[in-house]
C-alpha cells in the first residue's frame, strides 16, 4: 500500500480508482463495514483508494494515529491511502478543499458513508458534488449498535470515561495506542514494578486516569498481559499525563522500541496515596486482581 499526502504529483495520471472518503478516526465498525462493502463490489483489477481527512486542530483528540490507520488499511487490502491535513487556519470549506485535491484524479466511483457530510452540517447535495468531481458518488448505510449510529464522536467520551468494553464494541477491537518506550526516573524497578513509559502519544485522546488491564505488543507477534497506569501519578508528584505499563511475567530491556498498548478493562481510579508503601501495596493488589481475572 502507498501512503500519499495530498497535494502530490503522484496523484496525476494514475489509472482510475475506487475512492472511499471519510475521516476514518478510530477505524470503527462503521468504517470497517464501509470498506468491506466497497471491497465486495470492487473488481480485482480496480485500485481501491481511501481519502482520509486528518484534522490537525484535533491534536490530542485522535482515536487512531496516521500510522495506526496505515496498518489498518493494509490489513483491509487498501491499495492507496491518500490523506489531506486540515488545520484550524484552513478557511476553505472542507467540500471545496476535497474537490480541489481530487480534481486531478481519474475516479471511477466514490463511496462515502450516509453520515459523511463534507459541508460539515450545512446543505450538501451528493449529485452536485459528484458533477464537480466528475465521478459518481454513492452513500452507504451507516452501522448501528443498540440502535445508535456508531461514530468517532460517540466513542471519544467513552474513552475519556474509561469505558473500555463499550469502546471495544464500537471499534471492533480494543482501544490501543502505539508509541516509543522512553526512559523515566528509573523509579519503577526500585518499587518492584518496572513500567515502560510510552512516548510520542500526544496526538491520541487521553484515556481516563486510572489503572487498566491490557496487553502490550513489544515486538511483532510478541504479546504480554499488562497492568497499565494512565494519568498524572499524584503520589510521586507527577507533572504530566503519562501512559506506563507493567508487563506480567516479562523481564528485559525495551527502551526505544515501538510498542502497542491495548486497553481491555478499567480496574480502578488513580489514587493520591500518602506514601510509597501504600502505593506499592495497592500495585500488588492490582497485580493479584489481574492474575485472578486472567487465570494466571
Ligand atoms: C499497577 C500500577 C498502578 C499504579 N497506580 C497509581 C496510583 O494509584 N496513583 C499514583 O499516583 N501512581 C500510580 N502508579 C504510577 C506509579 O506512581 C509509577 O509507576 C511509579 O511511581 C514510577 O513512576 P515514574 O514513571 O515517574 O518513575 C501506578 C503504576 C502501576 C504500574
Ligand atoms: N515487567 C516489565 N514491565 C515493564 N518494563 C520492564 C519490565 N521488565 C523490565 N522492564 C524494562 O524496565 C524499564 C522500566 O524500568 P523503570 O520503571 O525502573 O524505569 P523507567 O524507564 O525510568 O520508568 P519509570 O519512569 O516508570 O520509573 C522498561 O522500559 C523496560 O525496558
What separation in Å is there between the alpha carbon of 197 and the centre of ligand 2?
7
Cα–Cα dist 134/117, whole Å: 18
The mean per-residue pLDDT over the stretch 244-253 comes to 97
Q: Do 175 and 63 contact (CB within 8 A), yes or no?
A: yes
Which residue minimizes the CA distance to atom 30 of ligand 1? 229
3-class state of residue 130 by DSSP: helix
Closest atom of ligand 2 to 181 CA is 29
Q: Residue 27 above 60 pLDDT?
A: yes
pLDDT at position 12 is 54
Kindly report, residue by residue over 148-197, the tens digit of the pLDDT: 999 999 999 999 999 999 999 999 999 999 999 999 888 899 999 999 99
Kindly report, residue by residue over 216-240, the tens digit of the pLDDT: 999 989 999 999 999 999 999 998 9
CATH of domain 156-294: 2.40.30.30
CATH of domain 2-148: 3.40.50.620
Domains of the chain by residue range? 2-148, 156-294
What separation in Å is there between the alpha carbon of 184 and the centre of ligand 1?
12
What lines the ligand 1 site, CB under 6 Å? 184-185, 187-188, 193, 195, 197, 211, 227, 229, 233-236, 238, 244, 246, 270-271, 279, 283, 286
Give how far the C-alpha of residue 72 lies from the chain's centroid of Cα atoms, to the nearest Å.
10
For the beta carbon of residue 76, count every other beta carbon within 10 angstroms.
17
- Write down the H helix ranges in 104-251: 126-133, 152-160, 164-171, 188-191
- Percentage of the chain lying above the pLDDT 90 cut: 83
What lines the ligand 2 site, CB under 6 Å? 181, 183-189, 194-197, 244, 246-247, 250-255
Q: What ipTM did this prediction achieve? A: 0.96
What separation in Å is there between the alpha carbon of 229 and the centre of ligand 1?
6
pLDDT at position 10 is 64
Measured CA distances, 284 to 77, 244, 246, 267, 290 (Å)? 44, 16, 11, 13, 10
Kindly report, residue by residue over 143-153, the tens digit of the pLDDT: 999 999 999 99
Measured CA distances, 153 to 63, 90, 225 (Å)? 10, 21, 29
* Sign, CA torsion 47/99/30/221: positive
Among 179, 189, 217, 280, the mutation site with the greatest number of ligand 2 atoms within 8 A of its Cβ is 189
Among the bound ligands, name the one nearest to the CA of residue 181: 2
pLDDT at position 279 is 98
Is the overall model pTM greater than 0.90, yes or no? yes
Cα–Cα dist 107/130, whole Å: 10
Q: What is the mean pLDDT of the chain?
A: 93
pLDDT at position 58 is 62
What separation in Å is there between the alpha carbon of 187 and the centre of ligand 2?
8
Q: Residue 208 above 90 pLDDT?
A: yes
Amino acid at each position: 500500500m502507498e501512503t500519499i499526502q495530498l497535494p502530490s504529483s503522484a496523484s496525476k495520471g494514475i489509472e482510475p480508482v475506487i475512492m472511499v472518503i471519510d475521516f476514518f478516526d478510530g477505524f470503527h465498525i462503521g468504517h470497517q463495514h464501509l470498506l468491506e462493502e466497497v471491497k465486495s463490489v470492487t473488481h480485482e483489477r480496480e485500485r481501491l483508494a481511501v481519502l482520509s481527512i486528518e484534522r490537525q486542530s484535533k491534536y490530542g483528540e485522535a482515536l487512531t494515529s496516521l500510522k495506526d490507520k496505515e496498518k489498518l488499511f493494509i490489513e483491509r487490502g487498501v491499495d492507496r491511502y491518500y490523506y489531506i491535513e486540515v488545520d484550524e487556519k484552513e478557511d476553505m470549506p472542507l467540500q471545496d478543499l476535497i474537490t480541489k485535491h481530487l480534481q486531478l484524479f481519474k475516479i471511477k466511483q466514490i463511496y462515502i458513508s450516509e453520515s459523511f457530510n463534507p459541508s460539515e452540517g450545512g446543505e450538501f447535495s451528493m449529485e452536485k458534488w459528484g458533477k464537480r468531481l466528475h465521478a459518481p458518488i454513492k452513500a452507504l448505510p451507516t452501522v448501528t449498535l443498540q440502535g445508535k449510529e456508531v461514530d468517532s464522536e460517540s466513542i471519544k467520551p467513552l474513552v475519556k470515561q474509561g469505558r473500555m468494553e463499550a469502546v471495544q464494541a464500537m471499534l471492533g477491537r480494543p482501544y490501543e495506542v502505539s508509541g516509543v518506550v522512553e526512559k523515566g526516573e528509573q523509579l519503577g524497578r526500585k518499587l518492584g514494578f518496572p513500567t515502560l513509559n510510552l512516548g510520542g502519544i500526544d496526538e491520541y485522546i487521553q484515556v481516563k486516569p486510572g489503572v487498566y488491564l491490557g496487553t502490550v505488543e513489544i515486538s511483532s507477534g510478541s504479546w504480554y498481559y499488562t497492568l497499565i497506569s494512565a494519568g498524572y501519578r499524584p503520589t510521586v508528584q507527577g507533572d504530566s499525563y503519562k501512559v506506563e505499563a507493567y508487563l506480567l511475567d516479562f523481564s528485559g530491556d525495551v527502551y526505544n522500541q515501538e510498542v502497542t498498548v491495548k486497553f481491555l478493562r478499567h480496574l480502578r481510579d488513580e489514587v493520591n496515596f500518602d506514601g510509597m508503601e501504600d502505593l506499592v501495596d495497592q500495585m500488588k493488589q492490582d497485580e493479584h486482581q489481574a492474575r485472578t481475572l486472567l487465570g494466571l
